[in-house]
Chain A
């Protein structure tokens, strides 16, 4: 042991290898996500930031932001996206190098550099968000005096009618985990000099490691898989997404229906499950977009041939409903009339 005083132990090596692998994996996953929630987008809009590109509903967000004069997002305008993959791979490589040279000092340098990189990355992210939210086109369609649209660095912020969440995504969590693993490695080495038992350290460290793997509760109903999900009321396979409906319980359970009439039957037959549940109906013109029942516009008529003969279709607004109502010779109705 004496000769190896300054070398790192086998567990620490293992942790470093895992940390390196996690970094490599994080390259292929979104690192950060910004989610926008608004009544008109019940499913939410998400912007995901990868090591080398921007993903998610960039087109929709660019389109939206156009109205308030924000710049459109293009991955090739950011130097970060060319550099970041190399930096991350570099750190992954560095982990392995530390394992090979086995010096405790090298481990400390690695951790320091990694933390520094994390801080720089967050500062850079904040700087970008500031520019993005403040540099507005003065000739934009909507100008709210004194309003800036900077998304939060981390956490939640209300921007006009959008609630914006900014949180690490899979890649980000992997990143944090690998940082934590390095901290654990440093901690283990420190304990070794204090000659404490490893078992104890592991029981102390494990909860911290587990904590980084926690998952969030569900806040949106599961999407409907057509031709695969069955209606929870009539048992038929849902193959016509235009007429689908969903009951989403406060506990996060999703019940799916192939017809609005099935949703209503089910709700009336299962009062306990329906208590405080959110109800959604599919927007007729666009597949698989769910609308809240109260604000939707409904048409009813024999030519609106829904799978279970409810013959009611739901729309986002009166405008889109009118075109279909004319074509199908259907009449307008509302939620209170249908909901009996």
Chain B
């Protein structure tokens, strides 16, 4: 037993010797972060105390825990990339990082991670930078609890909040991003998860996928962005329990899907968007148990989409539930609740006895002639819609939900 305790103590002391602590601050042994970084070994910890540090470009080339005490400020003076992480097993936490440079060629960032793995960036305030956090050729990195704000305006170039390129196995968790071009941007990123982030008021998209396969985004909020989320040229993406709200404006979407396949959209809420989901060239997607509420269009399914299954969703209070630009129907609708359904249920099985045609005549007309919107809610249009429901002529007659629900699903 004694031997064990001695052994334990020994190992502890050896650990203490192995991992040194460095203190940076006005009254501390090290006055600048760079001078501390010059003296560390792999695995050491640097505590940076309160103050404003204007040190140009700080490069981390050894594994280090860089920890801010009371949010010390790293200022890039609008000239530099502020933190460049080039070492694996590095942690950066508790800083306020502001005013990175601005350039369109090399994308200066608050924090950029180069070709490495196991980096954690957490609990930072990242304010007024061109790009916020930028990862390239990275693996197993965690970006967590950062507060990323920029002040981009229309007609001006601005970078993305969290930008990931050619990376794998990332975790982007509980960050708040606003005012950037895209809140979160994934290009060639695989096997990654985006969880519990809030992305608001970004100029282009709240979240943007390009060529990024096998990823998931879960329980995020996308509010008031140019468009909510755009998933393009991608397959096998899981989109679960997110909220897409108030993405208003001409050609603004809650969710924009283009050239994507084999994906799953489950339990999301689309509330007050110009278009809840806009689909182009999508195939083999299951859209299940989502709420489409108070949108201009619940879903726009372009003719280039096929083999998608839309089942058990609630469509409530949308101006148009569904719209399409073609006559060929290769998608199926099953067991959804449509608040515009006027059928009856004589056998009391809670499923309407008359099939529902979610595509109204007028939504087809408006799709082809947008100015016709002027006549919306006029008597003639209502009459036309009613007669079309009884005898479909312009709308494809197989565009149909055979098992419409009588009551909304509890979602």
Contact = CB atoms under 8 A, between A and B. Distances in A.
Nearest to B233: A309
A227 B226 contact: yes
Contact of A309 (B105, B158, B210, B226): B210
A7 interface: no
Given A230-B251, A327-B105, A235 B155 contact: no
A239 B181 contact: yes
A97 B165 CA distance: 72
Interface string B276-308: 001010000000000000000000000000000
A337 interface: no
Contacts of A235: 251, 256, 258, 278, 280
Contacts of B232: 234, 236
Contact of B204 (A239, A287, A305, A324): A239
Interface residues of B, number: 26
Nearest to A241: B157
Contact of B165 (A228, A305, A308, A328): A305
A89 interface: no
A236 B156 contact: no
Interface string A63-104: 000000000000000000000000000000000000000000
Interface in B156-207: 156-158, 165, 181, 187, 203-205
A236 B230 contact: yes
Residue among A225, A239, A309 with the highest chain B CB neighbour number at 10 A: A239
B325 to A, nearest CB: 13
B227 interface: yes
A289 interface: no
Contacts of B203: 227, 237, 239
B155 A228 contact: yes
A328 B107 CA distance: 13
Nearest to B205: A237
Contact of B105 (A225, A227, A230, A324): A324
B155 A227 contact: yes
B258 A234 contact: yes
Contacts of A234: 232, 258
A223 B154 CA distance: 15
Interface residues of A, number: 20
Given A230-B251, A242-B104, A327-B105, A237 B154 contact: no
A226 interface: yes
B22 interface: no
Contact of B211 (A226, A228, A309): A309
A322 interface: no
A333 interface: no
Residue among B105, B205, B227, B230 with the highest chain A CB neighbour number at 10 A: B105
A240 interface: yes
A228 B105 contact: no
A225 B154 CA distance: 9
A305 B152 CA distance: 21
Interface in A228-265: 228, 230, 234-237, 239-242
A228 B154 CA distance: 7
A226 B156 contact: yes
A305 B278 CA distance: 26
Contacts of B256: 235
A309 B232 CA distance: 11
B204 A227 contact: yes
Nearest to A236: B230
Contacts of B187: 305, 309
B105 A237 contact: no
Contacts of B104: 240, 242
Contacts of A225: 154-155
Nearest to A225: B155
A227 B251 CA distance: 13
Contacts of A324: 105
Contact of A237 (B156, B211, B227): B227
Contact of A226 (B105, B157, B165, B210): B157
A239 B157 contact: yes
A226 B155 contact: yes
Interface string A284-301: 000100000000000000
Interface in B131-157: 152, 154-157
23 contacts: A225-B155, A226-B155, A226-B156, A227-B154, A227-B155, A227-B156, A227-B203, A227-B204, A227-B226, A228-B154, A230-B251, A234-B258, A235-B251, A236-B204, A236-B232, A237-B205, A239-B203, A240-B104, A305-B165, A308-B210, A309-B187, A309-B211, A328-B105
Given A227-B204, A227-B226, A309-B233, 20 more contacts: A225-B155, A226-B155, A226-B156, A227-B155, A227-B203, A228-B154, A228-B155, A230-B251, A235-B251, A237-B227, A239-B181, A239-B203, A239-B204, A240-B157, A241-B157, A242-B104, A287-B157, A309-B187, A309-B210, A327-B105
- Rank and list the top 8 A-B pairs by shortest CB-CB distance, nearest first: A237-B204, A227-B154, A227-B203, A239-B181, A239-B204, A230-B251, A237-B226, A228-B154
